[in-house]
Amino acid sequence: MALRDRWPSRTAFIYAAIGSAVGLGNIWRFPFLAEKFGGGAFLIPFLIALFVAGIPLLILEFAIGQKIQKGAVDSLASIKKKLSGLGWWALFTAFIVISYYVVIMSWSLIYLFASFGVQWSEDPESYFFNNVLQISESVDSIGTIVPAVFIGLLISWILIYFCVWKGVRSVSKVVMWTVPLPIILLFVLLIRAFTLDGAMIGIVEYITPDFSALFDTEVWIAAVSQVFFSLSIAFGVMIAYSSYNKKGSDISKNAFTVGIADTVIAIIAGFVVFGTLGFMAEQQGVAFDEVVASGPGLAFIAFPQALSLMPFGTIFSILFFITLFTLAIDSAFSLVEAVNIVISDKIKMKKQYIALIVCTLGFLAGIIYTTNGGLFILDVVDHFVTNISLIVIGILECIAVGWIFGAKKMRSYINKVSDFKIGAWWDTTIKYIIPISLAVILALQLKREFVENYGGYPDWAILIGWGVVLVPLAIAFSIPQRTVKSTT
């Protein structure tokens, strides 16, 4: 049997895992969730979800991949044959996420070029919707492909291909640059934000807790799905990456390092965004609430607008969109690599070809989001996948390891290889606390879905949402299973 590829060093693995975790979720999703759910109050459920569910599950995924030395499908199948279905489901979900994730990268590329001359400065909102997206009135009219977004998508995919084409060998070289660079740029933007007049208005808004938000179940649902999305768990990505570690590598210290780095970067991104928007509120003499837009509008409307108001706006805009793009690319190729590894576990084919096929399919799947109605579809798909599929996959992973493999057995492996020993709390967390709390969250979420259509979309769009959850699920569990022997 051919020897498995390996990370050249522990640093390469940590960089790659941090690169996967830190992405659009940190700089685009986290700040707008924090804003939407009462500023500093969102931090509390977020941190609780991080320590109670996020890090223990990250430990679990690192342990599965590293112990069994396979991608998600074969790793889970070696615990129990039927579980290969869970692996496939995680994988299909990763594929769906990557198909729209790269479209957001394409918007960032367009903005990077538009930064020369700060082309949106006249009317940032109209620039985003009418010039960049050329959006239709509603999801009912899909329209045609928007050329610039399509070309941006193609360029992004070509870049992604060259990051993953040699598997872990190319990835480990790329991450040495693409992980530190945006983090350094983020610090530059942080200093810029703090030195702007009015920054404090935004920062106060960000860190002032609104404790009433804690009693809102929606906040908890959002916090948990944000933790999952941001740590790249339940996609098979972290299983794939850790399977390139040697069996004796540390697990728990790595998981804490990645989890905490990801959180610190999200919190810093929050300061950058809120500080900069505070400056804009002061410039325009309006209340803070009036300058913030939620959702995609934050990174592509409000923030660019603030950039256009500051001295050297062009330079800071370029820096911001390079940051956004390079933060996202490591996440994007980690998703691709998770898919590639499963294929290369199954069939003998050169890495370059597998990567080429997966990247081409990902590009083709993304075309739907480059249409005039693309943003609506993206919104629906993202909502269903992150709020339903991920939660169910999380519950099933806990059952697989906690109950079928045995939490205690896994923990004794983890402690054998790790400097930092984890206690029996981990078993309780994996066996009871996470699955039960996720089940409650899922029930609440399902109730909401059935009370009213998400985002007021028509029934057929909601049906697509259910489709991206249920069709992959059905296919995943009908793929014939074969017994996989673990290399243990």
Check binding of 386 to ligand PHE (CB under 6 A).
Answer: no
Nearer residue to ligand PHE within complex by CB, 25 or 198: 25
Per CB under 6 A, 25 contacts ligand PHE: yes
Q: Which two tokens stand for residue 276?
A: 């900069």
For ligand PHE, the binding residue among 19, 23, 38, 87 (CB under 6 A) is 23
Q: Give me the sign of the Cα torsion angle 268, 273, 279, 282.
A: negative
3-state secondary structure of 3: coil
Nearer to ligand PHE, 104 or 221 (CB): 104
Among 66, 232, 252, 429, which residue sits at the site for ligand PHE (rule: CB under 6 A)?
232
Binding segment for ligand PHE among 50-58, 224-232, 342-350, 420-428 (CB under 6 A)?
Answer: 224-232
Q: How far, in Å, CA of 232 to CA of 241, rounded?
A: 11
Could you please report the per-residue DSSP string of 397-441?
HHIIIIIIIIHHHHHHHHHHH-SS---THHHHIIIIIHHHHHHHH
230 vs 155: CA distance, rounded Å: 24
Least separation, in Å, of the C-beta of 409 and ligand PHE?
27
Select from 21-29, 208-216, 271-279, 468-476 the region that touches ligand PHE (CB under 6 A): 21-29
- Closest to ligand PHE by CB, 282 vs 379, is 379
- Measured from the CB atom, the residue of 189 and 227 that comes closer to ligand PHE is 227
Determine if 20 is a binding residue for ligand PHE (CB under 6 A): yes
Residue 21 in contact with ligand PHE, rule: CB under 6 A: yes
What does DSSP assign to residue 2? P
d(Cα 148, Cα 154) in Å, to the nearest integer?
10
| 170 lies in the site for ligand PHE, by CB under 6 A | no
Binding to ligand PHE (CB under 6 A): which residues in 72-111?
A: 97
Q: Residues 361-392, buried b or exposed e (16+ Cβ, 10 A)?
A: ebbeebbbbbbbbbbbbbbbbbbbbbbbbbbb
- Tell me how far the alpha carbon of residue 282 is from its chain's centroid: 32
Site for ligand PHE in 324-363 (CB under 6 A): 331, 334-335
93 or 245: CB nearest ligand PHE = 93
Report in angstroms how near the CB of residue 309 gets to ligand PHE at its nearest. 27
Residue from 62, 235, 320, 363 in contact with ligand PHE (CB under 6 A): 235
Q: How far is the CB of 203 from ligand PHE (least distance, A)?
A: 23
Burial 146-161 (b: 16+ CB within 10 A, else e): bebbbebbbebbebbb
Hey, which residues does 39 pair with through a beta bridge?
209
